[in-house]
A and B are shown apart, each in its own frame.
Chain A
């Protein structure tokens, strides 16, 4: 077998078999019982050479409508933001992407320091004390926050706002089920968590209240009020936040959040059909030893030089096994690196500027829709998403928009029967005035 990934020669093979003292490779598999031994080769597609495979897969990719070619107004948890070109140059350095988890700190200082910097940036944006090295995504990070709260408070009820991303709620329910924790959802009013309903539902059995900021409809929740209702009952206050929005919005830490989670995808991470993205998990210092996943800490070596190590590992599965705070092992380290590079490039001034551009462009779009006669039902403060009511099917309309080079917004009727014929439109800084005008015009023609 000759293959560019397989350096074995016939001569190598012969010499190695001699050292082992056998005459064929088959003998190494003689311990597999005859009854379960697989004979022959898999019935799968034959190998393709590099150039032919590249051509085939490029054609497959071409079948998809991508946001490089189309103007995308689709958000709902995944956004088309500016990705500094250097992000890909950094994460393409194979010293980073071909490394394993940094268990040998002497030859992993690069990765460890990069994660330490990531943890710091997440703390800065969220206003929290401690951030971990990443989670799979925003949804599982929120679910793990629910489990942490249930374990910490020894209470068995999570109260989740229905203005949280519906797929995140599904994941929260899934993780809660594993721990036999009950999940109660709070209805919305005018696109915001109904605070009077929330007050009714939070009680002394409640482990945590989970809200999203900005919420699924792009609206900005009254975190001060939610905090008060939550902490009155000694439940934990959990916020799922869009970190890019925190360039302009008061961070959850300032409102007394106990746990802030979210997805760093808006910072330099490709949409990639939904993953891999990059969950983050930040807590106040009281919860430090309850955090799931890896943490990097600063220390010194024998000569007093500053260095970084994985620390507080007594929380983790490879040490604590069935008593661990979570089963997470692999995380999203490379994407945490990507997010760090993007956050560094934007920097202190850029995160603010980009967040304000999002608010400004969305505000412009909202007025354009209203001017064109559309109803924008939720009139609260928004970040980069608005809900627009249309005549006729959103799905059918989006098919027509595709022909015009536009990826339309999210059909809210898919997840909420009260919101049939409502579309969630995301307007990031990437969308030009011309594209916004074109969207409003095309939708006007379709849904007037």
Chain B
């Protein structure tokens, strides 16, 4: 990678160049000005680029070379499940019969797509232990909000509109409290105990007749399984609340424990995590929601049903919460997830979880003497180290993360969860080989040594990337959010 700036596409523009050819217009061209009301014809042209096709390919190829993906190298970003994205998924999603169909076509002309959606739902029902699944939500946070709106509708239908509070652990993903707010709830935080698990006493204190739901990730964001899950469920159900499963960490428990069997009433899944829909540089994702029987009437409309061998969308759902998204969800991502599940099968999914957990525990044990390990027990698919030992020597976790860039790795998630000082959350996934895990551990151990012997090299990292640390304060103080021609 060379360190010269890649010009913006606007800076490559030369008047008169084009990157397209449309067919000649085969109907008479109209005088658009005469067809449009006064003032509606655009006068000032949008300043879009004027470049040739090769210019475009070179530009985006250069940009891609300035980007790190799973195919570039190891990406142990905790809570994000950065596993291999199978290429067959990409091919299937591009079949014209999946990519080039319109959501409002006559149902008889899209039975294949509906069959795939239905069968994916059936697979997800079995995997989660739920009674029904909707594929409508577009991403994890969207799924959280969808399920909370269903919980709200459920309570309102029971005359329980005083249930205004949603409880989340202090270790929860930020989307949990944010989704609760967007669904009109107030968030109450429950503390973690000294073992990193939900503090049962504190939960008993905050749960009450105003509780709408408890949102839980299990294993939690420390990678620890909530061993008291049945008691947690009992406490919440005892006060009339619903138990919500944040499926971000499902990769840790497939074929080992199903949310439906743990007492959860609803669950969202991140098909772009556990089920290999790629992350795409931030999206698109897909966030299906599964529910137990008593929440089924509230599922967003339409609901996909099968009658004999025919699939239809049922819009006649009087208690449905409404529609959370136009059409039927991120179908293209659902196709990829379905292809993945069918590639793995039941024995494959079981191995996925076993190897993901084995890999995480192996790395944790290799690294424990070099960093603080706040919770010393078997982890699930990820674990959290603390950099407080290194911080005392003047090197922050942020510095160590930046130093990892010099070794060609994407750093772990840092400073999360919030209840670990100088946290480093590592999730290897099952698709990485032992050699990769070892090389990464060696790099982190070397960095720990550098912190003692040569801290400057860590504090000033990265040294090999196309750009050094960026001035984020400047970016926020005087925001420049678009290109403007000089």
Contact = CB atoms under 8 A, between A and B. Distances in A.
Nearest to A402: B109
Interface stretch (A47-55, A154-162, A200-208): A47-55
B323 A167 contact: yes
A153 to B, nearest CB: 18
Contacts of A6: 348, 351-352, 355, 430-431
A124 B411 contact: no
Nearest to A272: B332
Which among B26, B61, B263, B416 has the greatest number of chain A C-beta atoms within 10 A? B26
B10 A117 contact: yes
Contacts of B466: 106, 109
Interface string A304-330: 011111011110111111111011111
Given A6-B352, A124-B47, A271 B100 contact: yes
Contact of A250 (B39, B110, B262): B39
B358 interface: yes
B64 A93 contact: yes
B141 A33 contact: no
Interface in B180-214: 180-184, 186-187
Contact of A361 (B27, B115, B401, B470): B27
B106 A99 contact: no
Interface in A128-180: 130-131, 133-134, 136-140, 147, 165, 167-168, 170-171, 173-175, 177-180
B284 A95 contact: no
Interface string A65-78: 11111001010111
B157 interface: no
Nearest to A303: B468
A294 interface: yes
A287 interface: no
Contacts of B116: 57, 60
A13 B181 CA distance: 45
Interface stretch (A230-238, A345-353, A384-392, A440-448): A345-353
A102 B282 CA distance: 7
Given A65-B105, A174-B324, A48 B42 contact: no
Contact of B480 (A124, A298, A348): A298
A326 B469 contact: no
Contact of B342 (A45, A247, A273, A298): A45
10 contacts: A9-B434, A66-B96, A92-B90, A106-B462, A108-B281, A275-B330, A327-B181, A329-B140, A395-B106, A408-B106
A98 B42 contact: no
A185 to B, nearest CB: 14
Contacts of A308: 470
B175 A327 contact: yes
Interface string B68-99: 11111001010010111110101111111111
A420 interface: no
A69 B410 contact: no
Interface residues of B, number: 204
Residue among B119, B138, B343 with most chain A CB within 10 A: B138
B36 interface: yes
B9 interface: yes
Given A113-B66, A247-B46, A363-B30, A119 B481 contact: yes
B85 A108 contact: no
B182 A167 contact: no
A430 to B, nearest CB: 9
B5 A272 contact: no
A121 B63 contact: no
B48 A347 contact: yes
B6 to A, nearest CB: 7
A426 B112 CA distance: 24
Contact of A84 (B19, B46, B410): B19
A299 interface: yes
Contacts of B68: 95, 99, 104, 107-108
Interface of B is mostly: loop
Interface string A339-362: 001011111111111101101110
A226 interface: no
A270 interface: yes
A110 interface: yes
A14 B472 CA distance: 46
Contacts of B378: 20, 27-28, 30-31
B305 interface: no
Contacts of A46: 345-346
Contact of B281 (A100, A125, A432): A100
The 4 lowest CB-CB distance pairs between A and B, nearest first, are: A274-B327, A47-B345, A61-B97, A63-B112
A393 B251 CA distance: 49
A331 interface: yes
Given A272-B99, A359-B32, A399 B106 contact: yes
A442 B61 CA distance: 46
B434 A12 contact: yes
B50 A60 contact: no
Interface string B329-346: 111110000010111111
Given A47-B344, A57-B95, 20 more contacts: A28-B357, A31-B225, A35-B230, A41-B349, A61-B98, A64-B110, A106-B470, A107-B68, A116-B481, A119-B482, A222-B37, A303-B468, A319-B174, A324-B174, A327-B182, A329-B140, A331-B139, A344-B19, A348-B46, A352-B42
B392 interface: no
A276 B229 CA distance: 35
B257 interface: yes
Contact of A48 (B175, B327, B342): B342
Contacts of A137: 138, 325-326
A258 interface: no
A209 interface: no
Nearest to B286: A276
Contacts of B476: 297, 311-314
A122 B410 CA distance: 30
Contacts of B123: 44-45
A281 to B, nearest CB: 12
A180 B103 CA distance: 30
A433 interface: yes
A87 B108 CA distance: 31
A356 B33 CA distance: 10
Interface string B1-14: 00101101110000
Contact of B102 (A124, A178, A407): A407
A327 B187 CA distance: 13
A433 B27 contact: yes
A376 interface: no
Contact of B40 (A58, A95, A250, A307): A250
Contacts of B457: none
B99 to A, nearest CB: 4
A312 B476 CA distance: 5
Interface stretch (B52-60, B235-243, B290-298, B446-454): B52-60
Contacts of B104: 74, 76, 78, 410
A251 B46 CA distance: 9
A307 B470 contact: yes
A7 B432 CA distance: 7
Contacts of A5: 83-84, 86, 343-344, 430-431
A394 to B, nearest CB: 10
Nearest to B45: A348
A319 B474 CA distance: 18
Interface string A12-24: 1101110111000
A339 B145 CA distance: 27
Given A38-B261, A276-B332, A276-B333, A347 B20 contact: yes
B155 interface: no
Contacts of A361: 25, 27
A417 interface: no
B32 A16 contact: no
A302 interface: yes
A244 B234 CA distance: 54
